[in-house]
Structure 1
Amino acid sequence: MTEALTEIEDEELRCIGCGALIQSDDPAGIGYTPESAIKKGLETDELYCQRCFRLRHYNEIAPVSLTDDDFLRLLNQIRDADALIVYVIDIFDFNGSLIPGLHRFVGDNPILLVGNKEDILPRSLKRTKLMDWMRQQANLSGLRPIDVAMVSAKRNNQVSDLLEKINKYRENRDVYVVGVTNVGKSTLINQIIKSTTGVKELITTSRFPGTTLDKIQIPLDDGHELVDTPGIIHAEQMAHVLSAQALKLVAPQKEIKPRTFQLNDQQTIFLGGVARFDYVKGPRSGVVAYFDNNLNLHRTKLENADAFYEKHMGGLLTPPTADDKDDFPELERHEFHIDQKSDLVIEGLGWVTVPAGTTVAGWAPVGVSVLVRKAMI
């Protein structure tokens, strides 16, 4: 930095959008901000790095160079803290929301499990049933949450209820908010800040993964802190498989409306070109699909499905588009025999409710989880 900024040289300046350390030397580096923007930011108390400025005003996203070691270092800080851990997951992508080995990093700190994006669930789905399932899934991953909550950060639904639970369980401690990328963690924290201080959109948010780069510390009234940690990158999320354009077309933004299909066995439903459902064996039955309302669902015969996909992917079956279909990963098949009414879930996309006494298969990009759970509706 030049002499104009000498007086603040020793002060640690951080972007209030992503938490990155502000620097003006390396335009390609994390936290880069032109000196003129640093001066202006200090005058207005709104100091953003160039990356966050472009994200906020132009919805542009720039790649970052954080490594797995960087995230591991931050997770180790959580273990050493005395804090309540608020663990945010995407209700639509539970397995993709799991932080591998989180139970080893939280130490003795209590965990409050928060399911986000509640507003896009069908109203007919019983929330208590889903919260029970969330707790069971957390237990299977080695976690024992002290409580479970559901919110819509985007709509500010039930955030006040969550705040009551945070105040109940934190017991004069700091609060660490953790989650993988793209679960709406920073949006939730913005709602909390807005509810408690009136300040709007302090932290950078985006539908793109990885917009918070370092922990952001927000002071609480009693001298403790609410700490927003970077989203841990989970490569098996649907959000990392799809391009930004495709993600807009498959990630639900409004309440999902169910679509019912009467199927004979040996029929297939394509979910755009990103996934596929096969009704392999069973009597003629109704299945109910719960996916983004704008996602094109196309039915065909199972015997023709492979050739149909090869011919129409990127055209009739989109997303992906013709421009990015060559980079799209192969679909992997997962077969299940269904003994009770169940949901076949394609993580990050939605689910199909199927009857008992059937054999079905779900196809998803390699690495994206496909699982079966007891029907929620």
Structure 2
Amino acid sequence: MEGVFPGNAKLFDTPGLLHPHQISTRLTREEQKLLHVGKELKPRTYRIKAAHSVHIGGLMRLDMEVSSVDSIYVTVWASPLLPLHMGKTENACKMLEEHFGRQLQPPLGEGRVEELGKWVKKEVSVSGSCWDSSCLDIAAAGLGWFAIGLKGEARLGVWTYDGIDVVVRNALLPQRSHNFEVAGFTVSEIVSKADQARNKQHKNEKKRKPTDLTIVSPTSSVLTIDADSKIAFPPASVLNVDVAANSI
């Protein structure tokens, strides 16, 4: 592009180059569509305290570990198609096991999590002098970034897949949203579909649960037999049989 920048500056656009340090190169075509930004980015801002974390899909996580202030502002700049989650750091392992590939996409499908590589942590110490705007960014190559706003100091843990570049820089877009995101999953089509699939699976599991038999004898003694047991029944004149389907 010539004639746009002053002096002898030139900009070379090189789409299509693959870099192993970019997370987008590890994703399938369908997963890459969720990272695509087709319109103006809008900030999604959280106000978080120590021992809380923010996930960007199943690709990146920020932990607020220690801070000299009560809370900090964390603004996510990434594709609006990517679901986010904010919650307690103590539940982060559960999020990885139960929600990566489901509510938190990409990756698409639980089996893809291991294919992306080892989940590793990088510690970052930050400091800022203003609450009104973000002071620095923590970016993952090929994905997006967390913009941090605080007046004080903090130690953060940044998680992504091994080999993906994590860069700390001055804030590229210092503004944040005027409306804060709430704890839990952000409202998105991905989360909604994952919840529906999970509820359907639970219903099917209930239907497949074996039926128990409760046998009541004339002497009022009760014998409960599960579906895997075998018993020889006496004539109906001897026992009154009450069949009860118990479900959980």
Return the TM-score normalized by structure 2.
0.58
- 1:358 pairs with 154, 157, 161, which one? 154
- 2:104 pairs with 317, 320, 342, which one? 317
Structure 2: give runs of 5+ residues left out of the alignment. Answer: 129-134, 175-248
SS at match of 2:158: strand
How far apart are the structure 2 equivalents of 1:286 and 1:178? 34
Superposed displacement of residue 266, structure 1 = 0.7
| Residue aligning to 2:171 | 375
Amino acid at match of 2:42: K
How far apart are the structure 2 equivalents of 1:270 and 1:169? 41
Q: Is the 8 A contact 2:58 2:107 kept in 1?
A: yes
Give the % identical residues. 25
Looking at secondary structure, tell me which structure has more helix per residue. 1
| Residue aligning to 2:187 | none
Q: Is the 8 A contact 2:45 2:76 kept in 1?
A: yes
> Greater CA radius of gyration, 1 or 2?
2
SS at match of 1:163: coil
Q: Is the 8 A contact 1:287 1:353 kept in 2?
A: yes
Superposed displacement of residue 165, structure 1 = 6.2
How far apart are the structure 1 equivalents of 2:3 and 2:137? 32
Q: Deviations over 1:125-149 (max 9, x none)?
A: xxxxxxxxxxxxxxxxxxxxxxxxx
Q: Is the 8 A contact 1:237 1:368 kept in 2?
A: yes
Amino acid at match of 1:295: L
| Residue aligning to 1:263 | 48
Q: Deviations over 1:194-217 (max 9, x none)?
A: xxxxxxxxxxxxxxx4xxxxxxxx
Q: Does 1:281 align with 2:66?
A: yes
| Residue aligning to 2:140 | 346
Amino acid at match of 1:263: I
Q: Is the 8 A contact 1:237 1:348 kept in 2?
A: yes
Equivalent pairs, count: 161
How far apart are the structure 2 equivalents of 1:165 and 1:318? 38
Superposed displacement of residue 296, structure 1 = 0.3
SS at match of 1:339: strand
| Residue aligning to 1:226 | none
Amino acid at match of 1:325: V
Superposed displacement of residue 302, structure 1 = 0.6
How far apart are the structure 2 equivalents of 1:326 and 1:286? 31
Q: Does 1:238 align with 2:23?
A: yes
How far apart are the structure 1 equivalents of 2:29 and 2:107? 10
How far apart are the structure 1 equivalents of 2:8 and 2:49? 51
Q: Is the 8 A contact 2:21 2:141 kept in 1?
A: no
Looking at secondary structure, tell me which structure has more strand per residue. 2
Superposed displacement of residue 169, structure 1 = 5.2
- Superposition RMSD on alpha carbons, in Å? 2.5
Q: Which runs of 4+ in 1 moved over 4 A?
A: none
| Residue aligning to 1:294 | 81
Superposed displacement of residue 353, structure 1 = 1.6
Report the CA distance shift for 1:254/1:165 in structure 2 as closer, same or farther (over 3 A): closer
Q: Is the 8 A contact 1:251 1:349 kept in 2?
A: no
How far apart are the structure 1 equivalents of 2:158 and 2:36? 18
SS at match of 2:3: helix
Return the TM-score normalized by structure 1.
0.39
Q: Is the 8 A contact 1:241 1:365 kept in 2?
A: no
Deviates more, 1:324-333 or 1:366-375: 324-333
Superposed displacement of residue 331, structure 1 = 2.2
If asked which structure has higher relative contact order (CA below 8 Å, sep 6+), I would say 2
Q: Does 1:254 align with 2:39?
A: yes
